[in-house]
């Protein structure tokens, strides 16, 4: 069953058509790779999916509901979470507190509740702290809970960002170049984590330039070039696709 159906999505910046009526179908439970040369429109598509940008036209059907006009915080509530190409952690905040910000929007406690219903606010805070601790444990990051995020290695910071996205309990996780800047060992840890997240029933769309990683974890792949979808299929098909080889892989099969 399709969890996400992108239909004829178009995004224009001034005179640049960044997405030209793009279609993409992501099945529930799959890891879906999204690749293409620099400037192909991958990040723009992520921004349109997460609600950071609204498309000029087209539909974004998520579990059957068209979210194209909804804002980012609403999409999180519907079950879409993401990470960013450039790590966006609160550097001086502790790792645990960074993860707790991922629950924001899922809890009911605003400042009014905190003032007028302190018991409810206290209970919610305790729940969020316990959930953050569970996530840290699952990612083998318990040791880092009280460390300022900036003290962690690049690879661990990436994992904290993923943990923060998971805190929103998404059905769909959008990972934007999670392997960028990681060494080989860290990529191995990341690969294990991505498989584990899917194993927990979460559908993933993965933008990644590391072809070994992407082709090894993805069930299906969509390829964009110049804002257009040029191919969609299983990794074996994509590897052999002449257009993909010429327009993305520099003439050399992956």
Residue 32 near ligand ATP by CB under 6 A: no
Among residues 26, 32, 41, 190, the one that binds ligand ATP under rule CB under 6 A: 41
Answer for which of 32, 43, 204, 244 binds ligand ATP (CB under 6 A) is 43
Q: How far is the CB of 131 from ligand ATP (least distance, A)?
A: 32
- CB-based contact 160:89 (threshold 8 Å): yes
Residue with smaller CB distance to ligand ATP, 13 or 143: 13
User: What's the distance, CA 104 to chain centroid?
Assistant: 17
Q: Among residues 3, 4, 9, 18, which is the contact residue for ligand ATP, using CB under 6 A?
A: 18
Could you give the 3-state DSSP secondary structure of residue 35?
Answer: strand
Under the binding rule (CB under 6 A), the answer on residue 222 touching ligand ATP is: no
Does the footprint of ligand ATP cover residue 105 (CB under 6 A)? Answer: no
- Write down the residue that tokens 């790779």 correspond to: 33
16 near ligand ATP, judged by CB under 6 A: yes
Residue 38 binding ligand ATP, by CB under 6 A: yes
Q: Which residues contact 162 (CB under 8 A, 6 or more apart)?
A: 83, 139, 173, 175, 178, 193, 197
Cβ contact 20:10 at 8 Å = yes
Query: Cβ 41 to ligand ATP, closest distance in Å?
Result: 4
Strand-pairing partners, residue 224, are 229
Q: Which of 4, 65, 51, 31 is nearest to 203 (CA)?
A: 31
Q: Which of 31, 40, 80, 144 binds ligand ATP (CB under 6 A)?
A: 40
| Least separation in angstroms between CB 222 and ligand ATP | 12
Do 9 and 60 form a contact (C-beta atoms < 8 A)?
yes
**DSSP structure string for 128-147:** HHHHHHHHHHHTT-GGGTTS
86 binds ligand ATP (CB under 6 A): no
> Which ranges of 102-210 would DSSP assign to H, the alpha helix?
111-116, 118-138, 154-167, 184-199
**Residue 13 engages ligand ATP in binding (rule: CB under 6 A):** yes
**Both tokens assigned to 99:** 């993860």
Residue selected from 24, 31, 36, 248 as contacting ligand ATP according to rule CB under 6 A: 36
Residue 76, interface with ligand ATP (CB under 6 A)? no
- Residue 235 binds ligand ATP, judged by CB under 6 A: no
Minimum Å gap between C-beta 225 and ligand ATP is: 9
Q: Which residues bind ligand ATP (CB under 6 A)?
A: 13, 16, 18, 36, 38-44
């Amino acid at each position: 069953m399709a969890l996400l159906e992108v239909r004829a999505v178009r995004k224009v910046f001034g005179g640049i058509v960044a997405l030209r009526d793009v279609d993409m179908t992501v099945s529930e439970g799959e890891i879906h790779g999204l690749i293409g040369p620099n400037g192909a429109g991958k990040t723009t598509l992520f921004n349109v999916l997460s609600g950071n940008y609204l498309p000029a036209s087209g539909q974004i059907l998520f579990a059957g509901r068209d979210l194209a006009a909804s804002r980012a915080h609403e999409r999180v509530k519907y079950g879409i979470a993401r990470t960013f190409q450039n790590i966006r952690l609160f550097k001086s905040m502790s790792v645990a507190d960074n993860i707790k910000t991922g629950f924001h929007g899922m809890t009911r406690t605003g400042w009014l509740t905190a003032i007028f219903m302190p018991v409810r606010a206290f209970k919610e805070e305790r729940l969020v702290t316990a959930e953050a601790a569970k996530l840290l444990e699952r990612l083998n990051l318990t040791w880092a809970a009280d460390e300022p995020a900036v003290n962690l290695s690049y690879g661990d910071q990436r994992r904290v960002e993923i943990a923060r996205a998971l805190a929103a309990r998404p059905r769909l996780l959008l990972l934007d170049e999670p392997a960028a800047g990681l060494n080989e060992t860290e990529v191995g840890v990341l690969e294990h984590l991505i498989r584990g997240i899917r194993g927990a029933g979460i559908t993933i769309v993965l933008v990644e330039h590391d072809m070994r990683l992407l082709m090894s974890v993805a069930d299906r792949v969509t390829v964009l070039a110049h804002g257009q979808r040029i191919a969609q299929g299983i990794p074996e098909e994509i590897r052999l696709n002449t257009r993909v080889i010429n327009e993305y892989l520099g003439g050399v099969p992956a």
